[in-house]
Structures are given as C-alpha cells and as structure tokens.
Chains A and B, each alone.
Chain A
Amino acid sequence: MKLEPETTWSPQDELEWTAFRYIANELPEADAAAFERQLADDQSAREAVARCVQVTHAVVALEEARSPVCLPAGPEGDRRRQRRWAVAAVVIAAAAVCCAFWVGAEFAQRDRDEPGSQVVQDDPPKPVNPGLGAVDPSAVIATWLNFDADALDSGLSPEWEEPVKSSSRSAPVADGSFNWVIAAVDDAPLAVPVPPVPGKTAKEPN
C-alpha cells in the first residue's frame, strides 16, 4: 500500500477542505450546521465554498468531455448500475435472438419430419373454374400443339370457325376456341369446343 506523504495544513487549507466536504455532503450534520453559521460572517469561508464549486464544475466538465457516453446524473453508484444494466440488456437481447432462431429451426425440422405434414394428393386438385372441369386436359394440349398462328391470323382454320353453340356469356372474340381462356377469367360455366385431336374424332361438348 502506498502511503501519502506527510503534509502540514495551513488554516486556509483547512478551510478549503471543510468547504469541499460541505458542498460534497461529507460533513457530519453538526459540523455542516456549524460551517453554515460560519458562512454568515466569514467572507473567506464563503469564497472557499465558491472556489470548491468552481473546481468541482470544471472537473465534471472535463470528465464529461473525456467520456464517450455521458450518462445522466444520479446519486452515488447510479452510473455503475446503469452500465451494468446496459450490459445485461444487450446480453438478454442476444439470448432472445438466439432462442428465436433455435425455436424457428426446431419447428422447421419438425414440419419436415412429421408424416402428416407432408403433402398427400389423395384426390386430384379440383379446378378453380367449374366450367373447366369438363375440359379434357389432353384436348387443351392438343389445341396448343395444333395451334397455327398464321391460320389464326387469316381465319382459315375450319374447325375454329365453328360458332359457339352453348355459351350464355359470349366471349368478346369471335373464335370459340379461346372461350376456355375467357371463361377462366370470367369464372363462369362454359361450353368449350374441343378441337380435333390427331387420330381421334372430335366430340361435341356437353
């Protein structure tokens, strides 16, 4: 332990020390009251108080300038407690994030492992548009395979020139072969003319 050197204190030093302990609330109550009585008459004591306050202000200002983060004022130990709370808050937040990731990963793994969670297609998916339920998918494919843009442009395809026979909501296009597209948008039952499939005889729609 390092011992401080012996020092002799002058009356002025004693006064300054008492004034500092007074403003720092480090004087016993009786001594503080006695010092206040002294302040009533002793100009040097008043000036000592003023000097101690000025030095204290300056030290605080210097420390605040040095500290990167200025914490608010508080009684003794508040700043240290606030620092501890800040560290604890960061740790808790990090732990919460880790927990959230872990829980999310667990649920994702469980979803993959559970048999019931897998997609089982017992029934074929129902068409969104009931009107399209009557359409044979192979006929749609065949339609696109036989699609001839030039013939469409020139209107020479004889099958497609047949008028729509049973559509209550006529399509805005003259060619009935595209009614199923419009019906999909319209969400209405529609008689779809099925184009001839190569090697098969075309059937009239229901």
Chain B
Amino acid sequence: MTSPDESRIDPAVVATLYLDYADELRAFLVGVLRDRDAAGEALQATFTKAMEAGHTARRETLKGWLFRVAYNEAMALRRRQKIHAKSLEKLGWHRTREQETPDDNVSRGETISKVRAALDVLSEEQKEVVRLRIYEEMTFAAIAECLDLPLGTVLTRMRLALKKLQREVHEDETGT
C-alpha cells in the first residue's frame, strides 16, 4: 500500500480510492456544505491529505478515514468561508448540473435509472409529496397546507417514499 520509502501512500492506491469513493464523498460533502463548489474544494483537499497522510490509515479503514478527513475539511471550510449562513438562506445546491464533470453524469445516470424504477413503486400520494419536497423545494409544513393534510401524514408519506427509494437505489451496495 505504501511507496518504497514508506513515507507516502502509493499514488496508484489514491487513484483507486478516488475511483471508488469520490462520488460518494462528493455527495456527502454537498450534503454538509450545501454548495457544490465548496464540496469540490473540500474533496480536493481530502485527497491531497490522502496523498500526504494516507499511509497512516489501515487499508480496511481507508474509506472511513477518507470520510472523516472530508468531514473535517468541510467543517474547516465552512468556518473559513462562513458558507453555512449562506446555505441556510438558499438551498440551491442540487441544481448545478452545468458544473458537473462527465464522470459525475455517468455515475449519476446509473442512480437516475434506479430512481426512475423506484418511483414507479411509489403510490401517487407518495410521488406527489416527493415531487413537492425535493423538486419544488416546499417545506413539509407548506406541503401539508397545500394538500390540506396533517403534517404527520405528509412526513409519513415522505418517509415511506424515501425508504422505498433508498432500498431500490442502494440494494446492490447493501446486498439486500
């Protein structure tokens, strides 16, 4: 895993780590930072740190190590740029398709096809709540008011829909 001088991780290992985990790490960083540019910056810093200090992590824990480094980088970046307050004002982080790389599109295309199949499993009521919450960006309270439903019903529909979506999309990874 390490280079002959034992001071640095083998760059080939870092490249493999990038291929295996970059998409998931980027999604995690986007979820924390709510800003795609900042997430990209934190991802770059994470792999820079992997090059410098990856040899200190055990191979079986490398994924967890990368996520922890990514989390620390995200928190440091948030403190530096104070982007948290900005993100609370506007949550437009998932509409930056033009900034994505071709690799992003390929990996996302697979997820999209899975989600398309998963949406067919949902009831019409669940689909409506999913659309209003995720695409229309309405709060749960606003959805409840719009559909004239109790808030608890809206939350339950969303929760059931999310469970089905996650199961359909990630069943290969979890082996279920």
A interface residues, Cβ below 8 angstroms from B: 1-4, 7, 9, 13, 16-17, 19-20, 22-26, 36, 39-41, 43, 46-47, 49-64, 72-80
A54 and B172 CA atoms in complex are apart in Å by: 15
Are B28 and A55 neighbours in the complex by a CB distance under 8 Å? Answer: no
Binding site secondary structure of chain B = helix
Mark B132-176 against chain A: 1 for CB-CB distance below 8 A, else 0. 011111111010000001100100111110110110011000000
Binds A, one of B1-9, B12-20, B111-119: B111-119
How many chain B residues touch A (Cβ–Cβ < 8 Å)?
Answer: 56
Closest to B89 in A: A75
Given A53-B28, A53-B94, A54-B169, do A75 and B137 touch, yes or no (CB 8 Å)? yes
- With beta carbons under 8 angstroms apart, the residue of B28, B115, B150, B163 that contacts A59 is B115
Are B27 and A1 neighbours in the complex by a CB distance under 8 Å? Answer: no
Are B169 and A58 neighbours in the complex by a CB distance under 8 Å? Answer: yes
Q: 27 A-B residue contacts at CB 8 Å?
A: A1-B153, A2-B125, A4-B156, A7-B160, A17-B159, A24-B133, A36-B32, A39-B32, A39-B71, A43-B67, A46-B67, A47-B28, A49-B27, A49-B31, A50-B28, A53-B27, A57-B27, A58-B108, A58-B111, A58-B112, A58-B115, A58-B169, A59-B119, A60-B135, A63-B131, A63-B135, A75-B90
Are B162 and A79 neighbours in the complex by a CB distance under 8 Å? Answer: no
A47 surroundings in chain B (CB, below 8 A): 24, 28, 67
Give the distance to chain A from B146, nearest Cβ to Cβ, in Å.
9
Are B88 and A25 neighbours in the complex by a CB distance under 8 Å? Answer: yes
Interface: B25 (CB within 8 A): yes
Within 8 A of A (CB), among B42-90: 63-64, 67-68, 71-72, 88-90
Are B95 and A73 neighbours in the complex by a CB distance under 8 Å? Answer: yes
Binding site secondary structure of chain A = helix
- With beta carbons under 8 angstroms apart, the residue of A3, A46, A79 that contacts B71 is A46
Give the distance to chain A from B72, nearest Cβ to Cβ, in Å.
8
Closest to B67 in A: A46
Are B31 and A22 neighbours in the complex by a CB distance under 8 Å? Answer: yes
B111 surroundings in chain A (CB, below 8 A): 54-55, 57-58
A74 and B93 CA atoms in complex are apart in Å by: 10
Are B137 and A59 neighbours in the complex by a CB distance under 8 Å? Answer: no
- With beta carbons under 8 angstroms apart, the residue of B27, B97, B130, B158 that contacts A50 is B27
Taking A7-B156, A61-B108 as known contacts, 10 extra A-B pairs with beta carbons closer than 8 A to each other, sorted by chain A number, are A4-B157, A23-B31, A26-B140, A43-B63, A43-B64, A47-B24, A59-B119, A75-B89, A75-B137, A79-B136
